[in-house]
Structure 1
């Protein structure tokens, strides 16, 4: 006789957590975009997504996310490749894993303060270079503009790439290298014909994850760029706090809908590529 399993009850607390802190806020954020201040249904907020200013904001967020994801993916992959020569249980490898886990979560106001204190207008490095060599790192205070977000974003993108891509790189089987050498291949031919094609899905999936991570980042940008709304998360902040957006009081909900669509498409592609990459990692 087949007995009923109650193991699923262990997932109930996690399901409640997801419902209260992820699903419900998402539904409320999206839902408000279809209603005006009086609670009447309207398309005005969603129609604002094709406004040139909003489209420019999405374009800024997209190129910033793509650039930092590409740079972070390449640099992180190089770090992973260097880590292959380290013993998996050695001290250096353990320190690398720990550092990647910590730095990937080091963002927000703390990260903004680090960059301001280091290369800000009166940062330690800025003052030293200006007083000692006459080099000014802050013409026009670029750190507090859209280009100034590139370095802070790369700072947490690289360790995130290490976390996601190192397991895939470590899963390359030594037997494949030996078979390549037995058949007369070289190190270069192994990477071009075996290593890179096999790792390509995992690398692309990691890149998509980094893109989604940068696209949805808010705290670091909010701490650095206190003026202006050059990316979507800051535009949402402006829509929530501004009292001059007449007729589009719930524009933030429509902007959140746009972000969720973009991030949802990216994460769906990520999941599909990860399933394909898992075939050879098993």
Structure 2
């Protein structure tokens, strides 16, 4: 009986071990030990994920660094472009200012040249002499004798002229006498810029007054026959001074100033 009992016990032990093994596995699964035993596999998976995350982080870092570099490059290019634009604008302004300066200098030079030319023209015009009458001729010469003149001789020249003919100043000057002059009738005396004087007598009317400036060819009155006159004409005298008796040859005087008679 003892042997059989031992055999049953062994059989029961194997069965019990098998059952215990199954129960143990179930218990391990229930208590999480299986999960603990499986942890190395999960740990392997976690290591792979960590590597993936690391790679992704490295990629992101590279991409971020590239973006930063690209942004820096863009900013540098923008700064260089802005600097180039500013320099171009400054050069353009400088060129514009230089062009303006040159234009102003040219305009000033042209203006000064015109002003000089105008002054020269005015000077030439004021130094120009003309005949006291247009389209006339000398009817009585200088120095002609006769009882008609108080001095015994003609102190000027007479120009043929109908009453109302325009009488002109022979040159630029200032009026020193304008009015009735006795034997000269209505007369005008002009002091010219060179210090000489001219007289215009027997006029029917006057159009200037004492102190007035006149220019060559300017009308000073109309011819007539006032004063000691035998008929309409213009008595013209040239003088070295303001007073009677300082007369000089009117023809030589006018010719010396470029007037052809």
With the shorter chain as reference, the TM-score category is under 0.3
User: Which structure shows the bigger proportion of residues in helix conformation?
Assistant: 1
TM-score by length of 2: 0.21
**Does 1 or 2 have the higher relative contact order (CA < 8 Å, sep 6+)?**
1
User: Which structure shows the bigger proportion of residues in strand conformation?
Assistant: 2
TM-score by length of 1: 0.20
